[in-house]
Amino acid sequence: MNVFPALASQIADRAPPLAPPESEGIRLIGVTTHMTRDQEVFGEGEPADHVYRVVRGAVRGFRILSDGRRQIYDFYLPGDIFGIERGAEHRITAEALTDTILVVARRSALGHGSDGATAWRLWDLAMVELHRSHDHALSLGRRSAGERVADFLVDMAKRIGDGEHAELPMSRHDIADYLGLTIETVSRTLTQLQISGLIELAGCRSIHLRRPTALAELCA
Partner DNA sequence: CGGCACCTTGAGTATCCTCAAGAGAGGTGG
Partner DNA sequence: CCACCTCTCTTGAGGATACTCAAGGTGCCG
Whole-angstrom distance, CA of residue 104 vs CA of residue 110: 12
CB of 53 to a second copy, least distance (A): 14
186 binds, among a second copy, DNA, none (CB under 5 to 8 A by kind): DNA
Query: Any idea what DSSP says for residue 47?
Result: B
Instruction: Please identify, using beta-carbon distances, which residue of 205 and 210 lies nearer to DNA.
Output: 205
Instruction: Please identify, using beta-carbon distances, which residue of 8 and 220 lies nearer to DNA.
Output: 220
> Which residues in 196-214 are b (16+ Cβ under 10 Å) and which e?
eebbeeeeeeebebeebee
Edge-to-edge strands of the sheet including 206-209?
Answer: 165-167, 206-209, 199-201
Q: Restricting to residues 59-88, which ones interact with a second copy according to CB under 8 A?
A: 63, 65-67, 69-71, 73, 84-88
Q: Restricting to residues 30-49, which ones interact with a second copy according to CB under 8 A?
A: 30-31, 33, 35, 39-43, 46-47, 49
CB of 72 to DNA, least distance (A): 14
164 forms part of the interface with a second copy (CB under 8 A): no
**CA 28 remoteness from chain centre:** 19
What Rg, from alpha-carbon coordinates, does the chain have? Answer: 20
Query: Any idea what DSSP says for residue 106?
Result: E
CB of 213 to DNA, least distance (A): 22
CB of 165 to DNA, least distance (A): 16
182 binds, among DNA, a second copy, none (CB under 5 to 8 A by kind): DNA
Instruction: Please identify, using beta-carbon distances, which residue of 108 and 206 lies nearer to a second copy.
Output: 108
Helix 145-160 with 183-195: angle, nearest 10 deg: 80
